[in-house]
């Protein structure tokens, strides 16, 4: 019985001790979470004076989360400037000049403005015009963070600006930007929207029939304009064929010319016996001469037009076709070149 009583007393003492320790830890944690903003700012200023700018900025940020003011923003901007994070420095200092919660004093304002001007000499400021307006702008693979006035701040070095638009064609466009510091430029990134997709029309329906009926002579059954590029592309072949046909005709008429010339020579050798038919033979010979010359000229003209219309991809231009016929003693010699 005595042993049991002692055991209960020991257990009660341990419980009280553990409970007291837990209460102490809870109180300490509560004190840490409820650190006054003035203490955080005092510690931040002390770290800043000691040259511990990373620690000072962390403390200023904690104070700003608890009680955001223009002065905590100025402290963040000053630390960021010393850490050479000039983009964050410019962003925080500009915000401190706009913020009206515990606004800066005249001296603090002059200091923030001077520090902001120096920060701008170490960054690039870009006004980016985006088309279409629904497109998204990315910097080095991350969504771009624009200032309240729409300006994009970039630190030293080369950066890749990307414009992304799923409904455009192409869907993405990249542009490299080199930042040397102090520049303020305007950039334009544009993507063209994808053309609308026309659904195919079922064959045989009324709309298709109406479209076919209303289409002009140059339209196809699908409603589009007939492509005449193939006809223009083969025009030189038509003219070349016509030139060859004319040349063959000129050759045939030249043979006729030769035959009529032979008949006329025989008639002239016969003397008075052929006087009645000489004029008829001479007329046929003249017709043959005119036909030969006319067809020869047509062949030459057709060859020239075919050469002019020959596709530009040909390595060598096609020479113009030419026909020459020379009558000889009871003969006609013709030569065709193409």
Averages of pLDDT over runs of 10 residues in the chain (338 residues) are 41 37 38 77 95 96 95 97 96 95 95 96 94 93 92 95 92 93 93 78 49 45 49 65 73 72 71 66 76 76 72 50 57 58
Q: How far apart are CA 240 and CA 307, in angstroms?
A: 8
Cis omega (within 30 of 0) on the bond before 170? yes
**DSSP single-letter state for residue 274:** G
Cα–chain-centroid distance for residue 317?
Answer: 37
pLDDT at 116: 95
pLDDT at 9: 37
Matching CATH number, 37-120, of 1.25.40.10, 1.10.357.10, 3.10.620.30, 3.20.20.70: 1.25.40.10
pLDDT at 280: 76
Q: Of 201, 193, 205, 128, nearest to 165 (Cα)?
A: 193
Residues 6+ apart with CB under 8 A from 77: 88, 89, 90, 91, 92, 93, 95, 96, 112, 115, 116, 119
| Domain 124-190 homologous superfamily, CATH | PapC, C-terminal domain (2.60.40.2070)
Strand-pairing partners, residue 146, are: 152
Confidence (pTM): 0.49
Tokens of 310: 């020959």
Number of residues assigned to the chain: 338
304 CB neighbour count, 10 Å cutoff: 16
Q: Of 168, 165, 164, 187, nearest to 177 (Cα)?
A: 187
Q: How far apart are CA 258 and CA 280, in angstroms?
A: 15
Phi, psi of 334 (to 5 degrees): -120, 140
pLDDT at 193: 86
pLDDT at 189: 92
Q: Where are the beta strands (DSSP E) in the chain?
A: 124-131, 136-139, 142-143, 151-154, 157-164, 172-179, 184-190, 322-327, 332-337
């Amino acid at each position: 019985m005595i042993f049991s009583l002692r055991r209960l007393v020991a257990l009660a003492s341990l419980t009280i001790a553990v409970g007291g320790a837990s209460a102490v830890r809870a109180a300490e944690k509560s004190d840490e979470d409820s650190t006054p903003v003035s203490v955080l700012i005092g510690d931040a200023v002390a770290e800043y004076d000691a040259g511990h700018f990373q620690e000072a900025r962390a403390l200023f940020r904690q104070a700003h989360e608890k009680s955001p003011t223009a002065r905590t923003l100025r402290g963040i901007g000053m630390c960021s400037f010393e850490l050479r994070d000039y983009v964050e420095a410019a962003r925080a200092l500009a915000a401190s000049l706009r913020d009206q919660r515990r606004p800066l004093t005249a001296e603090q304002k002059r200091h923030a403005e001077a520090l902001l001007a120096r920060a701008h000499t170490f960054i690039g400021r870009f006004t980016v015009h985006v088309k279409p307006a629904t497109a998204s702008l990315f910097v080095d693979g991350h969504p771009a963070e624009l200032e309240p006035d729409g300006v994009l701040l970039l630190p030293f070095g080369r950066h890749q600006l990307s414009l992304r638009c799923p409904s455009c064609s192409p869907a993405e466009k990249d542009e490299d930007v080199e930042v040397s510091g102090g520049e303020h430029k305007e950039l334009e990134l544009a993507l063209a929207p994808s053309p609308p997709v026309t659904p195919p029309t079922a064959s045989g329906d009324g709309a298709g029939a109406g479209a076919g009926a209303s289409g002009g002579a140059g339209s196809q059954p699908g409603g589009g304009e007939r492509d005449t590029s193939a006809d223009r592309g083969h025009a030189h072949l038509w003219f070349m064929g016509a030139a060859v046909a004319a040349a063959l005709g000129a050759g045939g008429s030249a043979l006729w010319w030769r035959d009529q010339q032979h008949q006329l020579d025989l008639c002239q050798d016969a003397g008075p016996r052929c006087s009645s038919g000489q004029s008829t033979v001479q007329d046929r010979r003249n017709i043959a001469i005119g036909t030969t010359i006319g067809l020869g000229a047509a062949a030459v003209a057709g060859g020239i037009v075919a050469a002019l219309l020959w596709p530009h991809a040909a390595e060598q231009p096609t020479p113009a076709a030419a026909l020459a016929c020379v009558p000889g003693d009871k003969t006609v010699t013709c030569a065709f070149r193409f």
